Amino acid sequence: MDQWIEGILEQFGPTGVALLMLLENVFPPIPSEVVMPWAGYAVSQGRMSFWAAVLAGSIGSFAGASLWYWLARWVGQERLGRWVEGHGAWLTITPRDLEQVDKWFERWGAWAVLLCRLIPGLRTLISVPAGVAEMPVGRFHLFTALGTIAWTALLAGIGWYLGDQYGDLAGPLGWVSTAVVLGLLLWWLTRLVRQHRQRPSAAKTS
C-alpha cells in the first residue's frame, strides 16, 4: 500500500495529499502516518511548499471528519437507539451504553474531539459520537480543525526535517496506527465473547 500511496502523491502533489487524507478518514487502513511524512519529504525536495502540504492534508482530513459527523447527526440518537435495540448485540452496544456516551460527550466533547484527532485509529471514530450527540456544529468544526492542522503539520514537519530518511518514521507510525485498530478489534471481540457467555445464564435466571 505504501508504494501505491507514494505513486498517488508523486502524480498529483497537494491534490493527492488532500484526496488520500480524505480517504484516510473514510477508510482508516490508509494511514496519515505515511501520507503526511511523504508530503514533508516532497517539501524537502522542493516539489511543494510546506504550507501547501499542510493545507491540502488538513482540508482532506477535515472533509472526511465532517462527512462522518453529518452522517451520524443525520442518523441521530433515537434512530441509532432503535437500531441498537435490534442489532446492537453484534457491536456489543446497548441503549445504556449510548446514554453513557451521550453524558460523557456532553462533558468532554470538545476536548475529546481535539485530542482524538491526534491519535491514530481514533481520528475517524470520534466524529461519530460527536454527530450522534449533536455537538454544536461550530464547536465540532473548530476543534476538529485545530486537531487536524496540528496533526498534519506535525507529520509533514517531521517528514520535511528527516528528508531522505522519512521512511524511518513512516514505518513505526504505521505500526502504531495498526496496533490501535487491532486493539479496538480485540476489545470488541472480547466484549462479544463475554456477552454471549453471559446470555445463557441470564436466560436461566429468567
- Output the DSSP codes for the chain: -HHHHHHHHHHHTHHHHHHHHHHHHHSTTS-HHHHHHHHHHHHHTTSS-HHHHHHHHHHHHHHHHHHHHHHHHHHHHHHHHHHHHHHGGGGT--HHHHHHHHHHHHHHHHHHHHHHTTSTTTTTTTHHHHHHTT--HHHHHHHHHHHHHHHHHHHHHHHHHHGGGTHHHHHHHHHHHHHHHHHHHHHHHHHHHHHHHHHHHHHHH-
Q: Give the model's confidence band at 143: pLDDT under 50 very low, under 70 low, under 90 confident, else very high.
A: very high
Q: What does the pLDDT read at residue 166?
A: 60
Contact call for residues 105 and 133 (beta carbons, < 8 A): yes
Question: Could you give the percent of the chain with pLDDT greater than 90?
Answer: 24
Whether residue 79 has pLDDT greater than 60: yes
Q: Please give the average per-residue pLDDT across 40-49, as a whole number.
A: 89
Q: Give the model's confidence band at 144: pLDDT under 50 very low, under 70 low, under 90 confident, else very high.
A: very high
Give every CB contact of residue 121 below 8 A, 6+ residues apart in sequence.
28, 177, 180, 181, 183, 184
pLDDT in tens, 167-180: 555 556 556 556 66
Q: Please give the average per-residue pLDDT across 47-70, as a whole number.
A: 93
Q: Please give the average per-residue pLDDT across 7-36, as a whole number.
A: 83
Question: What are the boundaries of each domain within the chain?
Answer: 2-195
Whether residue 43 has pLDDT greater than 60: yes
